[in-house]
């Protein structure tokens, strides 16, 4: 009986099942301010179209980028320079898209950073200056004006027979390059109710947040509405407004919960495993097929004084190696962490591990959700 047991536990699965059980992981604790977003406190995306000038011959070719030529002529006409019907030739201008995130509660006159990216066939934005560019919100209104010298992290050096490129020289950034001209009207302090949005929705975490807030305030203040939302209501007699309430509760520490999940990126072979993943009883076997192809061409010389020519005779060696692994049993309640530790100790490749996990999931023995990126 003992001999039969040793045979069943042979193979790489045995290394996982023989590892001593690990101590149960403690629940992750975090402050409320680190796991929720407060309604109304958010960024807004802005976008604009502009021109970068002052490039050292690395701008758009106007023949291949008609939008750059049209924009340049329109700008010059607004400045009193008439170029209608003229053949404009310059390689020092590039059309760009300008993007930025409008910080929450930004005031008129404050500044923010902007990002610049080439739209045409420009080679580099190094040394360029962005001209006045309005930045629009999703509603079509202008919220900021961007202008300034562009800083890039890459470069391009080119000769007649070689080119060196480091980073992406057609994108750049302007620190404090935009002036905010319009404010978003949202008075947080005047609200009587407010929603907290969980960044990782979970029913248990949502309820724990509400219980912690109510215990701290002493009155029913928070209500869990769904896995991703907790509603705050300003209690009667509270000494302050909704901002004071959020400030008081955001330092409360909550033990977060999560569903058992495995995230797999098949392109890179990355596997991320949650702590609560479990494996039920299942038998697993794996075999690897390795094919080796080697080319050893042989040069054949003609006989002396003959009319033959030198030839190359191909020679190919093909070897196929199939390595089998005995069928093994994974006992119930073995954690996936133990299984993976055993596979890693035996050098199982990540892509083979992905296939094994997906096969175990297909049998229903893997008590977790698999998400493939």
φ, ψ of residue 194 to 5 degrees: the values are: -155, 150
Predicted pLDDT of residue 3: 41
CATH of the domain at 237: 3.90.1150
Q: How many structural domains does the chain have?
A: 3
For residues 72 and 130, membership in a common domain is answered with yes
Per-residue pLDDT reduced to its tens digit, 194-219: 999 999 999 999 999 999 999 999 99
Are residue 34 and residue 12 in the same domain, yes or no?
no
50 and 114 together in one domain: yes
| Domain match, 14 and 130 both | no
Reported pTM: 0.68
Same domain, 285 and 356: yes
Examine the domain organization and report whether 171 and 48 are in the same domain. Answer: yes
- pLDDT (tens digit, 9 = 90+) per residue, 43-65? 999 999 999 999 988 888 888 88
Query: Same domain for 302 and 284?
Result: yes
The answer to whether residue 17 scores a pLDDT higher than 50 is no
Q: Do residues 18 and 144 share a domain?
A: no
* Contact yes or no for 366/258 (Cβ under 8 A): no
* Per-residue pLDDT at 337: 64
Highest mean pLDDT among 71-75, 81-85, 270-274: 71-75
Report the distance separating Cα 216 and Cα 209, nearest Å: 11
CA distances from 299 to 302, 303, 312, 357 (A): 10, 13, 5, 49
As a whole-number percent, the residues of the chain with pLDDT over 70 amount to 75
Task: Give pLDDT, residue 5.
Answer: 32
- Boundary-marking domain end, from 180, 207, 242: 180
d(CA 328, CA 315): 41
Output the pLDDT for position 320.
55
Of 165, 180, 195, which residue is a domain's last? 180
Domain closes at, from 163, 180, 197 = 180
Q: Are residues 325 and 219 in the same domain?
A: no
CA 22 to each of CA 262, 275, 276, 338, 340: distance values in angstroms, whole numbers, following the listed order: 19, 11, 12, 8, 13
**Claim to verify: residue 70 and residue 138 sit in the same structural domain:** yes
Shared domain for 121 and 208, answered yes or no, is: no
Range of the domain at 209: 29-40+187-255
- Percent of the chain whose pLDDT exceeds 90: 37
50 with 136, same domain: the answer is yes
- Cα-based angle 36, 38, 43 (whole degrees, multiple of 5): 105
């Amino acid at each position: 009986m003992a001999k039969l047991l040793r045979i069943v536990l042979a193979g790489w699965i045995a290394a996982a099942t023989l590892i001593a059980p690990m101590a149960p992981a403690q629940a992750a604790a975090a402050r409320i301010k680190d796991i929720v977003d407060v309604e109304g406190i958010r960024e807004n995306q802005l976008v604009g179209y502009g021109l970068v000038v002052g490039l050292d011959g690395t701008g758009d070719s106007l023949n291949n980028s008609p939008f750059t030529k049209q924009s340049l002529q329109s700008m010059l006409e607004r400045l009193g320079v008439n170029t209608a019907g003229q053949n404009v030739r310059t390689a020092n201008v590039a059309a760009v898209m300008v993007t930025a995130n409008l910080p929450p509660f930004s005031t008129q006159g404050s500044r923010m950073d902007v990002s610049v990216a080439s739209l045409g066939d420009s080679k580099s934005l190094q040394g360029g200056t962005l001209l006045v560019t309005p930045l629009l919100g999703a509603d079509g209104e202008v919220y900021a004006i961007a202008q300034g010298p562009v800083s890039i992290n890459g470069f391009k050096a080119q000769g007649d027979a070689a080119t060196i490129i480091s980073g992406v020289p057609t994108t750049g950034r302007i620190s404090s390059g935009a002036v905010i001209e319009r404010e978003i009207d949202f008075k947080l302090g005047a609200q009587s109710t407010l929603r907290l949005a969980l960044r990782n929705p979970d029913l248990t975490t949502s309820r724990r947040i509400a219980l912690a807030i109510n215990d701290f305030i002493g009155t029913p203040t928070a209500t869990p509405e769904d896995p991703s939302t907790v509603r705050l209501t300003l209690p009667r007699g509270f000494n302050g407004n909704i901002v004071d309430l959020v400030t008081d509760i955001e330092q409360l520490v909550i033990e977060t919960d999560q569903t058992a999940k495995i995230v797999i990126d098949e392109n890179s072979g990355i596997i991320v495993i949650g702590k609560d993943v479990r494996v039920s009883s299942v038998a697993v076997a794996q075999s690897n097929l390795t094919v080796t192809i080697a080319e050893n061409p042989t040069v054949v010389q003609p006989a002396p004084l003959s009319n033959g020519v030198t030839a190359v005779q191909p020679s190919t060696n093909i070897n196929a190696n199939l390595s089998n692994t005995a069928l093994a049993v994974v006992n119930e309640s073995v954690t996936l962490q133990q299984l993976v530790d055993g596979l890693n100790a035996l050098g199982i490749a990540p892509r083979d591990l992905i296939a094994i996990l997906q096969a175990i999931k297909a049998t229903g023995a893997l008590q977790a959700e698999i998400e493939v990126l």
